[in-house]
Amino acid sequence: MINAQLHLQKLNTELEQVRQCLLTTLSNSSNQLHHSLAETLHKNNPEQWLELTQKQLGTEYKDIIVRLEQLEAAVCQIDIGQYGYCCDCEEKIDSQRLNADPTAQRCSNCEPRS
């Protein structure tokens, strides 16, 4: 059985960690544009960060942006009551899969097809 509230806590914790990592990385960059972006992010709601960063960051930030997208998508799914269902076949994703990665979007049958 899926405990969405427990997963929500895990997701929110990791989301905060990823956001902090992004800010730290941008602040430590030698690129002045990254410093400006870090300041912009500080001034904006974290829910707007994806939109702000996707437009301004290069491929060196791809992994962190993808993880941010995955985390935010999973939180959104919990909010709308769709968490734990495969985005392809709409069957339940098994709890072991979600426990291993609470951002899983596909069941084990559909994952290889994506």
* Statement: the pTM of the whole predicted model exceeds 0.85: yes
Q: How many residues are recorded in the chain?
A: 114
Structure tokens at 7: 């997963």
Which residues touch 65 (CB under 8 Å, ≥6 apart)?
Answer: 50, 53, 54, 57
Task: Write out the DSSP string of 73-89.
Answer: HHHHHHHHT-TTB-TTT
Beta bridge partners of 92: 85
**What crossing angle do the helices spanning 49-56 and 32-43 adopt, rounded to 10°?**
170
pLDDT (tens place) for every residue of the chain, 114 residues total: 578 889 999 999 999 999 999 999 999 999 999 999 999 999 999 989 999 998 889 888 999 999 999 999 999 999 999 999 999 999 999 999 999 999 999 999 998 765
